Amino acid sequence: MSAPVANSIHDVAIVGLGPVGAIFANLLAQAGLRVAVVERVADIYDKPRAITLDHEALRVLQAIGLGDFMEQAIAPHNGSHYLGVDGEIIKIFDPMPPPFPLGWIPNVTFVQPDLEQALRDKLADYPHADVFLAADGVALRQDGDAVTLTAQRESGEEFSIHAHYLVGCDGANSFVRKQLGIGLDDLAFDEWWMVVDTLTSDPARRPAKSFQYCWPSRPGTFVPGPRNLRRWEIKLLPGEDPEAAARPTMW
Ligand SMILES: Cc1cc2nc3c(=O)[nH]c(=O)nc-3n(C[C@H](O)[C@H](O)[C@H](O)COP(=O)(O)OP(=O)(O)OC[C@H]3O[C@@H](n4cnc5c(N)ncnc54)[C@H](O)[C@@H]3O)c2cc1C
């Protein structure tokens, strides 16, 4: 983690070191720009999130030097079978056959926290990329030449970063978006799902396909991830309590 440098100016300040902020910071640092990133949380978010990626994302990751890492971190997404109410197949999505237009398998599975760690490790290679973890972006001020970002450490201590540009990569509840008064269209599709990642004991046969269980009584999804990762996504029904559902004893 970096210490703030007094009276220095960065080319770009980034708020948020999730996958978007970390990829952007890597691209800018690779181009020789001086980058500062503030991230509210010190640790990488370890709960299940993204499990599928496409070949365009893989090309970006390759461009920042993570091609070899991704090659061993992914597994092919072999398509999905949609199962109807009686268990019959009602739709099939097959994977695209070779030759692959971008050189990578068009759809793959991966583990988001592993990728985020690789992105942070890569960023640490650049001496001109300053990363401030456990530092919350709390205020922005723009003058004729630069933007000043005020960040606050967990202790309450504040420090400033001056940059020619600032980019908000701070997720769905973006503080940058709110500070700049940028609107958000909420499509109001809110549903509670329980997402369960499991690691099977080795050796485990990898099921070939993903399954979408189109069952009105309990819609669900199964996705085989890379190596021994298996994911289930289970829709919570109206009236079911998400907090209660998160307790292992519920199931
Ligand atoms: C269950 C689930 C399954 C998903 N599956 C897929 C999938 O298969 N494929 C796919 O592509 N996507 C998937 N996604 C979405 C994907 O995980 C997100 O789109 C991705 O994490 C967004 O990255 P981000 O960097 O924009 O935001 P985030 O990952 O939310 O990162 C934003 C970061 O900004 C930090 N931050 C916020 N405010 C501040 C502040 N004021 N100051 C400093 N830091 C701040 C946060 O701590 C956070 O680390 C899934 C998501 C979920 C929840």
Q: Residue 206: which pLDDT band, with cuts at 50, 70 and 90?
A: low
Residue 101's pLDDT is what? 97
Considering the domain architecture, whether residues 240 and 120 belong to the same structural domain is answered as: no
Q: What gap in Å lies between CA 211 and CA 82, rounded to an integer?
A: 6
Q: Distances from the Cα of 23 to the Cαs of 8, 119, 123, 175, in angstroms?
A: 24, 7, 9, 19
Residue 200's pLDDT is what? 86
Per the domain annotation, does 16 fall within a domain? Answer: yes
Considering the domain architecture, whether residues 176 and 206 belong to the same structural domain is answered as: no
Q: What gap in Å lies between CA 195 and CA 223, rounded to an integer?
A: 11
Per the domain annotation, does 45 fall within a domain? Answer: yes
Q: Which of 122, 153, 180 is the last residue of a domain?
A: 180
Using an 8 Å Cβ cutoff, are 66 and 72 in contact? no
Per the domain annotation, does 227 fall within a domain? Answer: yes
* 155: three-class secondary structure by DSSP: coil
Q: Residue 204: which pLDDT band, with cuts at 50, 70 and 90?
A: low
51-76 average pLDDT score: 98
Protein residue with its CA nearest to atom 6 in ligand 1: 50
Per the domain annotation, does 126 fall within a domain? Answer: yes
Instruction: Name beta bridge partners: 177.
Output: none
Beta pairing, strands 210-213 & 220-224: antiparallel
Q: Which of 180, 198, 230 is the last residue of a domain?
A: 180
pLDDT, tens digit (0-9, with 9 covering 90-100), for 110-166: 999 999 999 999 999 999 999 999 999 999 999 998 999 999 999 999 999 999 999
Considering the domain architecture, whether residues 220 and 129 belong to the same structural domain is answered as: no
* 208: three-class secondary structure by DSSP: coil
Per the domain annotation, does 3 fall within a domain? Answer: no
Per the domain annotation, does 72 fall within a domain? Answer: no
Beta pairing, strands 220-224 & 229-235: antiparallel
Using an 8 Å Cβ cutoff, are 77 and 109 in contact? yes
Considering the domain architecture, whether residues 120 and 25 belong to the same structural domain is answered as: yes
Ligand 1 centroid from CA 171, angstroms: 5
Q: What gap in Å lies between CA 28 and CA 126, rounded to an integer?
A: 10
**Is the CB of 117 inside a 6 Å radius of any atom of ligand 1?**
no
This prediction has a pTM of 0.94
Considering the domain architecture, whether residues 37 and 146 belong to the same structural domain is answered as: yes
**Is the CB of 137 inside a 6 Å radius of any atom of ligand 1?**
yes
Q: How many domains does the chain have?
A: 2
Kindly report the average pLDDT of the chain as a whole number: 94
% of the chain residues with pLDDT over 90: 86
Q: Residue 2: which pLDDT band, with cuts at 50, 70 and 90?
A: low
45-74 average pLDDT score: 97
Residue 161's pLDDT is what? 97
Between vectors from CA 180 to CA 188 and to CA 113, what angle results, nearest 5°? Answer: 60
Q: What gap in Å lies between CA 129 and CA 25, rounded to an integer?
A: 8
Residue span of the structural domain in which 238 resides: 77-100+188-250
**Is the CB of 140 inside a 6 Å radius of any atom of ligand 1?**
no
Q: Mark residue 65 as left, alpha or beta (left: phi above 0; alpha: psi -120 to 50; beta: remaining).
A: left
The secondary element (H helix, E strand) that includes residue 166 is strand 158-168
Ligand 1 centroid from CA 40, angstroms: 13
> Quick check: 3 pLDDT over 60?
no
Q: What gap in Å lies between CA 97 and CA 164, rounded to an integer?
A: 45
For residue 120, what are its two tokens?
């942070």
Considering the domain architecture, whether residues 21 and 139 belong to the same structural domain is answered as: yes
Q: Which of 44, 49, 80, 222 to mutate to test the pocket of ligand 1 (most atoms within 8 A of CB)?
A: 49
99-109 average pLDDT score: 97
Between vectors from CA 201 to CA 199 and to CA 204, what angle results, nearest 5°? Answer: 95
Considering the domain architecture, whether residues 119 and 43 belong to the same structural domain is answered as: yes
Q: Which of 161, 180, 199 is the last residue of a domain?
A: 180
Considering the domain architecture, whether residues 199 and 121 belong to the same structural domain is answered as: no
Per the domain annotation, does 69 fall within a domain? Answer: no
Which atom of ligand 1 has the smallest separation from the CA of 48?
1
DSSP designation for 59: H
Considering the domain architecture, whether residues 149 and 234 belong to the same structural domain is answered as: no
Per the domain annotation, does 62 fall within a domain? Answer: no
- Residue 224 sits in a domain whose CATH number is 3.30.9.10
Ligand 1 centroid from CA 170, angstroms: 8
Protein residue with its CA nearest to atom 19 in ligand 1: 50
CB atoms within 10 A of CB 136: 18
Residue 7's pLDDT is what? 57
Q: Residue 246: which pLDDT band, with cuts at 50, 70 and 90?
A: confident
Residue 208's pLDDT is what? 79
175-182 average pLDDT score: 96
51-80 average pLDDT score: 97
Considering the domain architecture, whether residues 120 and 244 belong to the same structural domain is answered as: no
Residue 233's pLDDT is what? 97
Q: Distances from the Cα of 175 to the Cαs of 78, 139, 151, 180, in angstroms?
A: 38, 9, 12, 9
84-91 average pLDDT score: 96
pLDDT, tens digit (0-9, with 9 covering 90-100), for 6-57: 458 999 999 999 999 999 999 999 999 999 999 999 999 999 899 999 999 9
Which atom of ligand 1 has the smallest separation from the CA of 19?
25
Ligand 1 centroid from CA 112, angstroms: 10
Considering the domain architecture, whether residues 212 and 228 belong to the same structural domain is answered as: yes
Considering the domain architecture, whether residues 163 and 200 belong to the same structural domain is answered as: no
Residue 6's pLDDT is what? 46
Q: Which of 1, 26, 27, 40 to mutate to test the pocket of ligand 1 (most atoms within 8 A of CB)?
A: 40
